[in-house]
Every structure is written in C-alpha cells, then in structure tokens.
Amino acid sequence: MSAAAYKTIKVNPLSSHLGAEIEGVDLSQPLSNAQFDDIHTAFLKHHVIFFRDQKLTPDQHVAFGKRWGTLNVHPYVKGMSTHPEILEIIKEPTEKINFGGGWHSDMSFLEVPALGSILHAIEVPEVGGDTLFASQYGAWDALSPGLKATLEGLRAIHSAAEEYGSAGASSKKRASMDSEVVGDEVPEYEHPVVRTHPETGRKGLYVNPAFTLRFAGWTKKESRPLLEYLFDVARREVYTCRFRWRHGSVAMWDNRCVWHYALNDYRGQRRHMRRVTVNGDKVR
Ligand code: SIN
C-alpha cells in the first residue's frame, strides 16, 4: 500500500525491510474501524510499527492489545497485580541483566506462540536501551533454493528451558521482575522451521537463539552448526532496524516474522517498560 492509500494515519518507513513510525493516532482512545484497518495494514507491511508520545494507562494498553486478539499471561514472569496480562519490564540502575537481552521471538516456547507484542516506554535511560528488530522474511528470502528445500522438510524443538530453567538468564534473581525459576521439566514444543505467515502468506524463518534447542529428530550437536548458520543469516544488519525509545513511545512487533533484541548498554540507569502480548495461532 502506498503512503497515500492510508486514510487516517501517516506512515514513515524506517528501512526497506522492516519498521515504520506511525503518526496521527492516539492509542489511549478507542480506535475507529478505519484507524484500526490502517494500523493493521501498516503492521503487516512493515512488521514492526512505532508510535510516539502516547499516554496509556494499563487499562488503555490492555484495550489496544485486545483489538488484536486475546492477551497472554506469561507462564514464568508475574504480571502487574492489577493487570496480569501486563509485564513490567524493569531494569534498576544497580542491576546487570536485562530482560530480552538476546535475539528472540516472544513465546515461541509455547504450543501456540504470540502474534505480536506491544511495548510502552514508561521510563527510558538518557542514553542506550534501544531495541533492535530483524525481519525473518528477509532471512528466508536470502537463502539458496537448495537450503530452502532442505528446511521446508524440517521442524524444530522450542522450549523456555535455557531462559527460565535453573541455568537460564531470566531465572537469575532480579529484584525488579518476579520470574519463576522453573525446574528442568520445561515443556518442549515442535514448530516448522519455515513458517507461512497466516495473514500475508509470506514465508519466514521460524527458529531463534533463545528458545530453539534443536531440529526434531536431530541431536543438539547435529543441529548446532545449521542453526548457527541460520541465526547468522537472520541477524544480518541489512534485515534489521533499530528503535530509539523516548518516554511514551510504543512499539508493536509481529513475532511471526520478526526477532527482537533489547540492548543492555545503559549501566547505572533505570529503564521501565510495559508489555502486553497478543496470542497467535498454531505455527504452520
Ligand atoms: C522484550 O520484550 O523482549 C523486551 C524488549 C525491550 O525491552 O526492548
């Protein structure tokens, strides 16, 4: 869709592969169908969309999320006491580990992973704390026909074990976020390695370094070299964009075709975000 085809918003792309900033909408107010349709079109076209200067109460954040589908309650991280669907992503000045500090697709460790995540900036560091995004359509398109044919027949095992299991980064006690340390009996789910997006019909790679353990029917050791190759392609700079947060910024990304990475380069400063995660459908 060309910029002129949007009826209610202005869309400013950040790069040719993904990312666009949207102007002309107040997410705290109920959206008309025409506004929602425009935002939805921009979301499918650009895969991650950004809004500036939004003042959202938790209720308004949840209401915007519910325009897209049902909301997830995180199985391992406790949400706000008043709004269990809202994750408070906080890093205090004294803390070292941040949440989401590695490439991943949210909730790929579930049987039915997330459609999208909507992150609202409450307090941002003066410098640092940007988020990176990478298009998994771009990664898929970059592969050779031979490798694509091999991958079409493969499935991969995803699990939260390495993140939320006893040795995982998110299981290390953080004063600011209430993460459950799960034992080593974390469930594993199998998804196709190549995903056909349920709305656009485009193919994208669907493996990620945080949650993909191995290919189904392969050992971890056998899987590692090919997974590492795919991860290298998937994070090539040309398929990425970078978002500089300001107080009130909102980002919404499509976990079905985008990875993201929260940079941890703001030691001694506080960062506070709120996230809702929209449930998706079974990966096909
Ligand atoms: C996440 O949802 O992984 C966190 C992203 C961020 O805090 O920038």
Pocket test for ligand 1, best of 76, 117, 240, 270 (most atoms within 8 A of CB): 117
Residue with CA closest to ligand 1 atom 2: 100
Q: What is the pLDDT of residue 172?
A: 60
pTM of the model: 0.95
Tens digits of per-residue pLDDT, 179-200?
776 766 789 999 999 999 999 9
Q: Which atom of ligand 1 is nearest to the CA of 130?
A: 8
Task: Spot the catalytic one: 61, 74, 106, 197.
Answer: 106
Q: Is 275 a catalytic residue?
A: yes
What separation in Å is there between the alpha carbon of 162 and the centre of ligand 1? 17
Question: Running DSSP on this structure, what letter comes out for residue 31?
Answer: P
Residue 214 reports pLDDT greater than 90: yes
Residue with CA closest to ligand 1 atom 4: 100
pLDDT category of residue 229 using cuts at 50, 70 and 90: very high
Pocket test for ligand 1, best of 131, 254, 255 (most atoms within 8 A of CB): 131
Tens digits of per-residue pLDDT, 115-173?
999 999 999 999 999 999 999 999 999 999 999 999 999 999 999 988 887 666 665 65
Pocket test for ligand 1, best of 273, 274, 276, 277 (most atoms within 8 A of CB): 273
What separation in Å is there between the alpha carbon of 24 and the centre of ligand 1? 25
CATH number of 3-279: 3.60.130.10
Tens digits of per-residue pLDDT, 197-209?
999 999 999 999 9
Residue 175 reports pLDDT greater than 80: no
- Percent of the chain whose pLDDT exceeds 70: 93
What separation in Å is there between the alpha carbon of 90 and the centre of ligand 1? 10
Q: What is the pLDDT of residue 165?
A: 73
Q: What is the pLDDT of residue 4?
A: 57
Q: Is 106 a catalytic residue?
A: yes
